[in-house]
Structure 1
Amino acid sequence: MRIEKLYPMTSARLMVIDLAATLQTAALTLSNPQIGLAVVSEEGGKAAGVLSKSDLIRHLTDREPNTSIETLMSRNIISCSPVDELQAAWQVMVENRIQNMPVLGVDAKPLGVLDIRDALKVLFEQEQLQEHMLANYIAGIGY
């Protein structure tokens, strides 16, 4: 299954903040329990980095009062595209120990955020369907 089929889920989790936004804006964006990652965009809407709840927590422990979003964000964006396979994206998330991965389109435009729980849910449902179809086939019921 391709990531694009999960558009309703991934688009609902998308939060984009401007590179010049304040830390308070970022904190308010990430205060939603359904949002684990904000995509930081530069002029033209291109993704410049990502900011997670963990990044904000690390900032609080550093106690740097004048830190900017640009300083806190991760510039090394681990992302997927709408045409990527869900299984492959899930494997990248596991290998990199990330819970949220931005879905980026042409020119690095943010389209959504894939949450590992959503990916696991869909992959599990696919496995259940295949198991059901195989059981019906073996039983002679057909597909």
Structure 2
Amino acid sequence: MRIEKLYPMTSARLMVIDVAATLQAAAVTLSNPGIGLAIVTARNGKAAGVLSKSDLVRHLTDSEQPATVEALMSRNIVSCSPVDDLQAAWQVMVENRLQNMPVLGSDVKPLGVLDIRDALKVLFEQEQLQEHMLANYIAGIGY
């Protein structure tokens, strides 16, 4: 299954914040339920980095000095595209210990955020369907 099939889920989790935004604005963005990652964009609307709740919390516990979103964001973006296979994207998330992964278009503009729980749910449902179809095939039901 391609990630584009999950567009309603991934687009609902999309939170974008400008590279010049304050940490307070980032905190407000990340305070929404179910949102664990904000995609940081440059003025041209292209992804420049990502900022997670963990990044923000780590900064607050380690330093009292003011910082910017640009200083805290991760510039090395591990992302997927809408045409990528969900199983492959899930494996990348597991290997990189990611809870959320940006879905970026070919122009590097943010389209959504894939949450590992959503990916697991869909992959599990696919396995259940295949198991059900195999059981029906063996039992001779519907053939």
The corresponding residue for 2:88 is 88
Task: Report whether the alignment pairs 1:42 with 2:56.
Answer: no
Instruction: Say which structure is richer in helix.
Output: 1
SS in 2 for 1:51: strand
Report the AA paired with residue 22 of structure 1. Answer: T
How do 1:98-137 and structure 2 match up within 5 A? 98-137=98-137
TM-score (norm 2): 0.98
**Gaps in structure 1 of 5+ consecutive residues:** none
TM-score (norm 1): 0.98
In structure 1, how many angstroms separate the alpha carbons of the residues matched to 2:131 and 2:142?
13
In structure 1, how many angstroms separate the alpha carbons of the residues matched to 2:32 and 2:43?
25
Q: CA deviation at 1:31?
A: 0.6
In structure 2, how many angstroms separate the alpha carbons of the residues matched to 1:30 and 1:10?
16
Q: CA deviation at 1:2?
A: 0.0
In structure 1, how many angstroms separate the alpha carbons of the residues matched to 2:100 and 2:33?
13
In structure 2, how many angstroms separate the alpha carbons of the residues matched to 1:92 and 1:63?
31
Q: CA deviation at 1:65?
A: 2.5
Q: Which runs of 4+ in 1 moved over 3 A?
A: none
Identity level (%): 85
In structure 2, how many angstroms separate the alpha carbons of the residues matched to 1:78 and 1:112?
13
The corresponding residue for 1:14 is 14
Task: Report whether the alignment pairs 1:140 with 2:140.
Answer: yes
Report the AA paired with residue 50 of structure 2. Answer: V
User: What's the C-alpha RMSD, in Å, of the aligned pairs?
Assistant: 0.9
